[in-house]
Amino acid sequence: MLDMKYIRENLDEAERRLSTRGGDSVLGGFRELDEKRRTLLKEGEALKALRNTVSDLIGRTKDKSQVQDKILEMRDVSQKIKVLDEELNQVDEQLNYFLLTVPNLPHATTPIGRSEADNVVVRSWGEPKELPFTAKPHWDLGEELGILDFERGAKITGARFTLYRGAGARLERALINLMLDLHTGEHGYQEVLPPFMVNRDSMQGTGQLPKFEDDLFKLVDPEFYLIPTAEVPVTNIHRGEILKKTDLPISYCAYTPCFRREAGSYGKDTRGLIRQHQFNKVELVKFVHPSQSDAELETLTGHAEKVLQLLGLPYRVMALCSGDIGFSSAKTYDLEVWLPGQSCYREISSCSNFGEFQARRASIRFREDEKGKPEFVHTLNGSGLAAGRTLVAVLENYQQEDGSVLIPPALLPYMGGLERITR
């Protein structure tokens, strides 16, 4: 959520910065709504002030017959207040909805661009492997090795659900454990295990609602939502809180499954594990002092990269352009891992700085000075990493000519002695 005062005082600038995201003007109608609100507010509050003082007088008067006329007068005033309040509530609701649907301002360093094609390669690590034989995509490897059962996943639930078996299930768990151990042991994150369903307020706090309801799985009774990422429950840990400045930065990492409707992607990535309705992910979340968020995005991205480096998986870091960053994000780096089976780079992590956008929605603050006003913290998060896609990358990069898959050295301690997955 943007600062209403900022929009009020810098409407043109805000509009210009938002326009770099593409699409239509988003701030139209704000001025009118805002002014209407303040007019109603002024009028209503003046009447309330009057009522308060007169009611006070009535209260002090012992003989109520002396103030009978005042009582009648205030009865009218209250009626007027009620009408104004109702009108104000409507305007507030509109304004609030409006504010909740305006995306974040792109960061000054976010490259300007229209689409994915305008994203910028920041750096690369490792050499995309040229295998000395025809590389298979992971769905073939997984089925042939009997570790990924797409048909049964579909039978049990439906399309985009997969049953992992044996070494496949073990490999996914190994990856999750490696990531958690790395981030908690080496990078200073506290591990948390949050609820996988959240309420509406939490979804609104991080920006999924009210705009992206279609992307979510929703439970009817009670009205909960399945989390599309651990970002939601973990960022909301501190919703409505004023944090101690000395506690910042706060760093959490969490393993959770993630549930996404993937509405509007019917034709895309229909094969394999790339686009599932349920997938596993280890997420990194930080609450930081506003002056530190730029630097923290770099370190957090580095923490995610470290996983790929440990696994020996070639990747590149992309700075997403203004037209491609998410609704709540000011700046995002995507990590894209090399997949020999598909001869392309695929997103495996997304690391974002949200500035105060989420903190304002969720009211997460701190005080610069003991007596100072509360200010919003900055929030960041990044996948460290998406486990399913990491498994894909391991299978495709470590496949052998005979169809077996070697276990990367970093995972050996987690695989119970298994060094190679074979049929």
* 4 contributes a contact to RNA by CB under 7 A: yes
Question: 209-234: b or e for each residue (b if 16 or more CB lie within 10 Å)?
Answer: beeeeebbeeeeeeebbbbbbbbbbb
Q: How far is the CB of 326 from RNA (least distance, A)?
A: 25
Determine which residue in the list 56, 116, 144, 401 makes contact with RNA, applying CB under 7 A: 56
Q: Which stretch binds RNA (CB under 7 A): 52-60, 105-113, 264-272, 329-337?
A: 52-60
Taking the complex as a whole, the smallest distance from the CB of residue 365 to RNA amounts, in Å, to 7
* Surface-to-core class of residue 42, CB atoms within 10 Å of its CB (0-12 exposed, 13-18 middle, 19+ buried): exposed
Q: 71 or 159, CB closer to RNA?
A: 71
Could you say whether residue 371 binds RNA (CB under 7 A)? yes
Asked if 38 interacts with RNA (CB under 7 A), we say: yes
Q: CB within 8 A of 409, min separation 6: which ones? A: 312
Q: How far apart are CA 337 and CA 389, in angstroms?
A: 9
Rg (CA), the chain: 27
Q: Under rule CB under 7 A, how many of the chain's residues touch RNA?
A: 31
First-residue to last-residue Cα distance in the chain: 52
Give how far Cα 89 sits from Cα of 97, 211, 302, Å: 12, 21, 46
Within 10 Å of residue 167's Cβ, how many Cβ atoms?
A: 20
* Closest distance of CB 247 from RNA, Å: 14
Q: Using omega within 30 degrees of 0 as the cis cutoff, is the peptide bond preceding 222 cis? A: yes
Alpha-carbon distance of 58 to 70, in angstroms, equals 8
| Tokens 């649907």, residue located | 101
Q: Examine residue 58 and tell whether it contacts RNA (CB under 7 A).
A: yes
What would the two tokens of residue 214 be?
A: 């279609």
What's the closest the beta carbon of residue 369 comes to RNA, in angstroms?
9
Out of 2, 7, 18, 74, point to the residue binding RNA (CB under 7 A).
Answer: 74
For every residue of 301-339, DSSP letters joined together read HHHHHHHHHHHT--EEEEE--TTTS-TT-SEEEEEEEEE
Q: Which stretch binds RNA (CB under 7 A): 44-52, 203-211, 212-220, 377-385?
A: 44-52
- For RNA, which residue of 16, 31, 64, 244 counts as binding (CB under 7 A)? 64
d(CA 199, CA 206): 12
Tell me: does residue 41 bind RNA (CB under 7 A).
yes
Q: Which x/- pattern over 5-24 shows residues binding RNA (rule: CB under 7 A)?
A: x-------------------
> Nearer Cβ to RNA, position 88 or 320?
88
Residue from the set 10, 20, 55, 101 that interacts with RNA by CB under 7 A: 55
Segment interacting with RNA, rule: CB under 7 A, options 55-63, 157-165, 301-309, 319-327: 55-63
- Least distance from RNA to the Cβ atom of residue 42, Å: 6
Task: Work out whether 60 is an interface residue with RNA (CB under 7 A).
Answer: yes
Q: Taking CB under 7 A as the rule, does residue 75 contact RNA?
A: yes
Binding site for RNA (CB under 7 A): 4-5, 38, 41-42, 45-46, 48-49, 51-56, 58-60, 64, 71, 74-75, 77-78, 82, 89, 222, 370-371, 373-374
